[in-house]
Structure 1
Amino acid sequence: MDGSQGGIEEARLEPASVRRFLSDNPQFLTADQGLLAELGLKIAVGNVVDFGPAVMARVHAAHQREASQRQQVEETARANFSAQAQTHGAVIDLLDARNHSDLARRVDELAQQRFGLAAGTIALETDGHPPAGWRKLVEGQVDMILGGPQRLARMGFAPTALGLFGERAEAIKSMAMVRMAIWEPSRQGLLAFGSTDAEGFTEDMGTELVAFLARVVERTAERWPVL
């Protein structure tokens, strides 16, 4: 075979050439049962090529993808609903606090029992002693922990925040922290939750629910004067 013939053979393998050939010679495909079987096709009534097996396989795959996506959406919705329900229950627990010490205890308990976390704590910037059960911070420490005076919350891991969790600090792999301003004149504080899971709190997570709890802690703490 010479070069010109080889060029013709290669041209015939182009998709457009194959399409034209099959269009001009439909019997080439419909008469070749072996080729139809290899392609997963069959001849339907009326001499029409039925793409049954191939099409059904694609439809099934698409259905599986849709089902998987729907399941993910449903699981996310259930998780959000559960988190909101637990948060509402936590609010009731916090509002029942009898004093600052009881409030701190309830924050730690709800962190562990309601949210499955390692710890929950309240911290306050003060020159003296913070309320019983609260962690003491020096002036400016809230800004340092959160990463600046403009930041209201921080999610993820912050080595500078490990001291908030006392003897449980070594187990903490991620944190959720929200700035608080309590009393008049306001004093800077933090509501912090710690998880033993490095992915428990990540930087891309929303802070709405944690911030909501922080506002509840602020209002509850203001029931009693700080000494």
Structure 2
Amino acid sequence: MNTTPGKPELDRKLRERVLARPDIILDDRDMMQALVAANEKTMGGNIVDLRGIAMERLEARLDRLEDTHRSVIAAAYENLAGTNQIHRALLRMMDAQEFETFLRDLEGEVSDILGVDSMHLVLESNEAGDDPAVSRLGEVLRVVEPGFIAAYMDGHRNSPTRQVVLRQIEAGPAELYGEKSAYTFSEACLRLDFGTGRLPGMLLMGSEDPHQFTPQQGTDLLGFFAGVFERTMRRWLS
């Protein structure tokens, strides 16, 4: 093999391989960067390589696009997993043949499927009293006075009422969360409309994880869950 005096000889087999498959180098970002850097050294420090600058910017843009692509894929998988959870929980609710079973499942299998630590149905009533039904379902059912749900979900804000409110809290109120109140650090409040002439309700999900429910999260899936739940409730109440 003929070689240029004063220059290191490239391994013959490696040279033949590169000549036969130049894409090996072209597809390897680290090798291409090393070659470009070596070329810049031979040009001297007083020459501006516009092509190199353009390549660096394109590489930076490609890196950002790849990061965005990974984020979009991760969000899509997370959204799909959340959709499956909601569907499974709704199917479980629809299996109930009796109203009492329907409600008890909220604090049992439905809350397990959704991965929350507690779930309560809050109903407004003019006559809370000592209803035996309330006593039997005391673990999942909470009866409050009219106006409580709007005040709890909306506070004193003048913004339009929302169907779903997600937020972090220091501790859950004892009248809603009972013995779990001290360990509830985030919650999802789902406003329920039971139809004309009926007082509103609220489905309350609590979590020990302060990051499970935050205002920055989307509410579409929980809004869908609330819509199906309130329509199911209307049939039980009719």
Name the TM tier (shorter chain): 0.5 to 0.7
TM-score (norm 1): 0.68
- Identify unmatched segments of 5+ residues in structure 2: 1-35
Give the distance between the partners of 1:218 and 1:183, measured in 2 at CA. Answer: 9
- Would the aligned equivalents of 1:174 and 1:201 in 2 still touch at CA under 8 Å? yes
Aligned to 1:68: 67
| Pair 1:37–1:90, CA change in 2 (3 A) | closer
Count of residues in correspondence between the two structures: 187
TM-score (norm 2): 0.65
- Would the aligned equivalents of 1:176 and 1:192 in 2 still touch at CA under 8 Å? yes
Give the distance between the partners of 2:233 and 2:53, measured in 1 at CA. Answer: 66
- Would the aligned equivalents of 2:168 and 2:211 in 1 still touch at CA under 8 Å? no
Q: 2:144 aligns with which of 137, 149, 163?
A: 137
Q: 2:213 aligns with which of 183, 197, 201?
A: 201
Give the distance between the partners of 2:175 and 2:41, measured in 1 at CA. Answer: 68
Report the AA paired with residue 80 of structure 1. N
- Would the aligned equivalents of 1:174 and 1:198 in 2 still touch at CA under 8 Å? yes
Aligned to 1:163: 175
- Would the aligned equivalents of 2:185 and 2:206 in 1 still touch at CA under 8 Å? yes
Between Structure 1 and Structure 2, which shows a larger proportion of strand residues?
A: 1
- Would the aligned equivalents of 2:172 and 2:182 in 1 still touch at CA under 8 Å? no
- Would the aligned equivalents of 1:162 and 1:172 in 2 still touch at CA under 8 Å? no
| Pair 1:37–1:75, CA change in 2 (3 A) | closer
| Pair 1:193–1:124, CA change in 2 (3 A) | same
Give the distance between the partners of 1:42 and 1:55, measured in 2 at CA. Answer: 19
Give the distance between the partners of 1:198 and 1:221, measured in 2 at CA. Answer: 29
Aligned to 1:191: 203
- Identify unmatched segments of 5+ residues in structure 1: 1-35
Matched, 1:92 2:104: no
RMSD: 3.3
Structure with greater Cα Rg: 1
Matched, 1:154 2:161: no
- Would the aligned equivalents of 2:117 and 2:207 in 1 still touch at CA under 8 Å? yes
- Would the aligned equivalents of 2:172 and 2:181 in 1 still touch at CA under 8 Å? no
